[in-house]
Amino acid sequence: MNIMKQQEATLVQRACAKVTGFKKLHKQLEKKIIVGGKSLSTLNNYMRCIAHVALHFNTLPSQLDIEQIEEYLLMVKKRNTTSSESFFKHTVYGLRFLFRCERRDARAIQLPTIKRDNKLPVILSPGEMKLLLKTPELLKHRVLLGVLYGCGLRCHEARSLLIKDVDFERNMLHVRQGKGKKDRYVPIGENLCRGIKAYLSSEVPHKWLFNGKDKHEGFSQKGVQWVVREATRKSGIQKQVTVHTLRHTYATHLLEEGLDIVSIKELLGHAHIETTMVYLHVAQLGRQTAFSPLDRLYQKR
């Protein structure tokens, strides 16, 4: 168990031990989240935040009035850090889920609305992507980066890949139980196929395409994040690159190469086309590439 999961477990355990009724509440929400098809990460995020509220007031959140909840959210908001923004968001979502489970929709509606982040994703250029892919010394890490970019996978999708999910005859990758519990197939491509074959022959992984330190377990989330972070650092790329940046870059490059937005939506496993439409704002499309008027200014005679 990694440090973050230990902290989450400890926090929930403390709330179960110190706050009357929290243990029962935890079991009820766990059942509803699992039955509702939400992920375990959602359960962890919600319960961690709800446990914080319960421990802060030493009572169940359902016993608090809206003024107390607003004061607590204001306290979180005033911290004004990146982590507190995420914590604020998950606290609101967790409380809203809790109140709706308890059929207190009026209280759920009183919670603040979380505005969607309108930031555009960071995209690597083809040259930067080539540089990133060749930077790691280990073949395993180069192939991992190739799969993340070449197939547009989310972090947990890459970590969950089994050797049997690679179909070399059809040059396809079977992505099992992605976001929303949906399966999909994505093309691998000849270059990536060769890379995966060389990696399998050299490393001989067991069961998982990318083993963790224990060959019976898949690569950890922190391990994947470290590979991307180290490759970025060593390559000298100055952009803020995360695992998801490679997925954004995959979609944008496909769009710029002429693939239609609906096909990209299916390859990414998006539930709604609106999610995919963001790439129209970052891809360089159209009959004429955008330019700076400053360049044209000095071209005139």
Helices 3-18/40-57 angle, 10° precision: 50
Does some domain include residue 298? Answer: no
Does some domain include residue 188? Answer: yes
Does some domain include residue 118? Answer: no
Shared domain for 104 and 145, answered yes or no, is: no
Does some domain include residue 277? Answer: yes
Shared domain for 152 and 106, answered yes or no, is: no
Does some domain include residue 204? Answer: yes
Domain that holds residue 14: 3-110
pLDDT of residue 180: 67
pLDDT of residue 228: 96
Shared domain for 75 and 156, answered yes or no, is: no
Shared domain for 95 and 177, answered yes or no, is: no
What is the count of structural domains for the chain?
2
Encode the chain (301 residues) as per-residue pLDDT tens digits.
Answer: 444 444 455 888 899 999 999 999 889 888 888 777 777 777 888 888 999 999 999 999 989 888 899 899 889 888 766 667 788 888 988 898 888 888 777 666 677 777 666 678 999 999 999 999 999 999 999 999 999 999 999 999 999 999 999 999 999 999 987 776 789 999 998 999 999 999 999 999 989 999 888 777 889 888 999 999 999 999 999 999 999 999 999 999 999 988 999 999 999 998 888 888 888 888 877 655 556 676 666 665 5
Which residues carry out catalysis? 154, 179, 244, 247, 270, 279
Does some domain include residue 120? Answer: no
Shared domain for 137 and 97, answered yes or no, is: no
Shared domain for 79 and 208, answered yes or no, is: no
Does some domain include residue 152? Answer: yes
Shared domain for 99 and 161, answered yes or no, is: no
Shared domain for 105 and 19, answered yes or no, is: yes
pLDDT of residue 290: 59
Closest CA to 164 of 212, 196, 198: 196
Residue 11 CB: number of other CB atoms within 10 A?
19
Q: pTM of the full predicted structure?
A: 0.69
Shared domain for 146 and 72, answered yes or no, is: no
Does some domain include residue 288? Answer: no
Residue type present at position 225:
Q
CATH number of the domain encompassing residue 269:
1.10.443.10
pLDDT of residue 298: 66
pLDDT of residue 142: 96
The domain boundary residue, chosen from 82, 110, 138: 110
Shared domain for 133 and 266, answered yes or no, is: yes
Shared domain for 131 and 105, answered yes or no, is: no
Shared domain for 78 and 176, answered yes or no, is: no
